[in-house]
Amino acid sequence: MAHEIIMAGFGGQGVMAMGKILVEAAMEEGKNVSWLPSYGPEMRGGTANCSVIISDEPIGAPIVTEATAAIVMNRPSLDKFEQDVIPGGTLFINSSLIDKKAARDDIKVYYVPANDIANELGTDKVANIVMLGAYLQATGAASFDSIMNIITHIFAGKKASVIPLNKEALLRGAACIK
């Protein structure tokens, strides 16, 4: 099974980090992965997206042209990438920042209040991890244990105090999926 995902939002929303955490976790599980970032001209506040592929088979090209899923963190990303999800695919919408509903009825749509949940946890910096938890719960593209191993590795040392926060964000995101 191949997961071809587009993750998109404004620069500074952690879209690239979300993609890297997912591919590193899947790679830890022995899967083939690719991660291809794409930035707008601005560093923060501009558009940012990445293409992530996770597969049991070798990956021929890193570009996602027919996404099995899209995770959109802001309205411009919804407008741009909703049509790229294949029929039967899945769309994850950050309903904290996007007041528009999906226009399609041939895909599964999850509305995840990622920023609201992150703010309940004390910082909007974990909204990306909330969305990642929702994605994992819905798709099983990687295990929660692998994701937590990567998060623990990334935040080792001086940043270790944020590990429990990220774990809680991941679990709260997963709880949004019924």
**In this predicted model, what pLDDT tens digit does every residue of 37-95 receive, in sequence order?**
997 665 556 679 999 999 999 999 999 989 999 999 999 999 999 999 999 999 999 99
d(CA 93, CA 110): 6
pLDDT reported for residue 39: 79
pLDDT reported for residue 43: 57
Average pLDDT of the chain to the nearest whole number: 94
Tell me the pairing of strands 32-39 and 47-55: antiparallel
**Per-residue pLDDT at 127 exceeds 70:** yes
pLDDT reported for residue 65: 84
CATH code, residues 2-175: 3.40.920.10
Output the six-digit token pair for 27: 């790679």
The ranges assigned to domains in the chain are 2-175
Secondary structure in 3-state letters for 79-147:
HHHHHHEEEEEEEEEECCCCCCCCCCCCCEEEEECHHHHHHHCCCHHHHHHHHHHHHHHHHCCCCHHHH
The helix (H) or strand (E) run that includes residue 175 is helix 163-175
